[in-house]
Amino acid sequence: MIEVKNLTKRYGNTYAIHNISFTVKDGEVVGFLGPNGAGKSTTMNILTGYLSATEGKAIIGGFDILEQPNQAKQRMGYLPEVPPLYLDMAVEEYLNFLYELKRVDLARGPHIKEICDLVKISHVYKRLIKNLSKGYRQRVGIAQAMLGNPEVLILDEPTVGLDPSQIIEIRRLIKKLGEKHTVILSSHMLQEVQAICDRVIVMNNGRLVADGTTEELSKLLLDNRKVILRVDGPKAEIHKLLQGIPNVEAVNYIGMKDGIPEFSVEAKEGTDVRKQIFLRLAERQWPILIMKPTEMTLEDIFMSLTGDGKKRRVKS
């Protein structure tokens, strides 16, 4: 288990992170989601002992990262934002070098082979790292993190800079690793944490703004309160009809799309007006060509989560 208590990191007068607390249970796959500058890397660097906190504690499997760093570090493998690769080394040399550096006590040959098979780099084992694609370099970075078979893997933006097919491969790999490890990964991409993680911790401006299951976050994102509507009929009359539906708070005419008027309709919090929209328009024989929830962007989510400036649990 990982326990983070009131972590704060200050640079002069600015806070990189501010009073962050959370726990991660064994076997969980947790995503840190947040835009650039949110404090994800800072939190990970403190967790892994690369950076000291101004205040607060991080405890890994019962060991305080400051007081018992060796025991704590043995339990974690870390892939930093910029993987620490030596480009002029072959994969083989690099992994053997790190095996020694980390003083791993598992039988060398079988252990390294097992990792290489798992992350699928066995066929490039003799190649120089500089001659590998970015996707393969990232695999080597993950292999490095797995030396010593740590319980916890901490992966900082593991898919950044990869092309779409490499992203899919790395996500698949991380999901697989999640079956046997506790994983914390960071990302600024919503779909990524949704695709990989059981739980999401949302960070913004150095603060933890939400913590909940991926399902809870998805519900929050699918905001049926605000729908986009394209209706084949007379613009002004449709507008008026929509405004007259109970619980509709605002109707905005967006414009003509392919000669058909499009609106956004916002309902009162906690209500869903879609059925009424359908029934009323059907009465008038104005067919709905499109009705879809507006997609919340990451920015919208942060706005809604940080609106009251407090941490809250993700609940729809």
Contact residues toward Mg ion (CB under 5 A) are: 40-41, 81
Q: Which of 2, 4, 7, 16 binds ligand ADP (CB under 6 A)?
A: 16
Give the separation between CA 280 and CA 4, rounded to whole angstroms.
52
Q: Which amino acid is at 125?
A: Y
State which of residues 20, 30, 33, 38 lies at the interface with ligand ADP (CB under 6 A). Answer: 38
Which residue's entry shows tokens 């319980």?
151
Q: What are 22's strand-pairing partners?
A: 4
H, E, C per residue of 48-90: CCCCCCCEEEEEECCEECCCCHHHHHHCEEEECCCCCCCCCCE
Q: In this structure, is the dihedral angle defined by the CA atoms of residues 83, 88, 92 and 94, taken in order, positive or negative?
A: negative
Task: State the DSSP code for 296.
Answer: P
Give the one entry of ligand ADP, Mg ion, none that residue 38 binds, where binding means its C-beta sits below a cut-off of 5 to 8 angstroms depending on kind: ligand ADP
Q: How far apart are CA 223 and CA 116, in angstroms?
A: 43
Which C-beta is closer to Mg ion: that of 83 or that of 261?
83
Select from 38-46, 142-150, 221-229, 296-304 the region that touches ligand ADP (CB under 6 A): 38-46
Residue (of 197, 103, 98) closest to 141 by Cα position:
98
With CB under 6 A as the contact rule, the residue among 4, 24, 31, 34 that binds ligand ADP is: 34
Asked if 41 is part of the footprint of ligand ADP (rule: CB under 6 A), the reply reads: yes
Give burial (CB, 10 Å; 0-12/13-18/19+) of 48. buried
**Of residues 16 and 221, the one with the C-beta less far from ligand ADP:** 16
CB of residue 132 vs ligand ADP: minimum separation in angstroms? Answer: 25
The closest residue (CB) to Mg ion is 41
Closer CB to ligand ADP, 42 or 214, in the complex: 42
Does 148 bind ligand ADP (CB under 6 A)? Our answer is: no
Among ligand ADP, Mg ion, none, partner that 39 touches (CB below 5 to 8 angstroms by kind): ligand ADP
Q: Which of 36, 70, 165, 285 binds ligand ADP (CB under 6 A)?
A: 36
Contact residues for ligand ADP, defined by CB under 6 A: 11, 16, 34, 36-42
